[in-house]
Amino acid sequence: MATNRTFTMIKPGAVKNGHIGAILAKINEGGFRIVALKYTKLSAEKAGEFYAVHSERPFYGELVKFMSSGPIVAAILEKENAVADFRTLIGATNPADAAPGTIRALFAKSIGENAVHGSDSDENAAIEGSFHFAGTEMF
Ligand code: UDP
Ligand code: MG
């Protein structure tokens, strides 16, 4: 079922480098409505759980360490075609390949520290949104 929602995190590197406001502005300019928003920090255990799908990949340990290294901003976003349009707005996983003007091209430092997360399917958007937010925190 298409939900027209996606889930994002502004990752610790982008938070640390002062890009929260600029990234939220890009999200607003991109036509996304904020359904839920939270400034929080993942424990290593929670980060490992969130990225469990990548547990066999060589970068998993570094990814979990990085994602639990500092605060993040988590959000659920709404727009027609949200998942695909948000992936377009953020650009390729590796910022070296991200199209000019995309969030990752503008704010990511490397493939590991790539500024933002974006869900890859409607199903995962719902799972990831519920991982971070209670129903009472979604508007
Ligand atoms: N990642 C990494 N090295 C890689 C591939 C991915 O460090 O070779 C990290 C990167 O932070 C990425 C996350 O793992 O955002 C999840 O990978 P995925 O392939 O799902 O990329 P995404 O959906 O975030 O573009
Ligand atoms: Mg992914």
Residue nearest to atom 18 of ligand 1 (CA): 93
State the closest ligand 1 atom to the C-alpha of 112, by its place in the atom list counted from 1.
7
pLDDT of res. 2: 57
**Given this model, what pLDDT does residue 3 score?**
72
Within 6 Å (CB) of ligand 1, which residues are found? 54, 59, 63, 93, 111-112, 114, 117, 120
Report the distance separating Cα 113 and Cα 63, nearest Å: 8
Phi/psi for 74 (5° steps) reads -105, 145
- What mean pLDDT is predicted for residues 51-70? 98
3-state secondary structure of 77: strand
Which ligand has the minimum distance to the alpha carbon of residue 111?
1
Mean pLDDT of 41-59: 98
We find that the CATH architecture of domain 5-137 is 2-Layer Sandwich (3.30)
Q: pLDDT, tens digit, for every residue of 1-47? A: 457 999 999 999 999 999 999 999 999 999 999 999 999 999 999 99
Q: Is 117 a catalytic residue?
A: yes
Average pLDDT value over all residues in the chain: 97
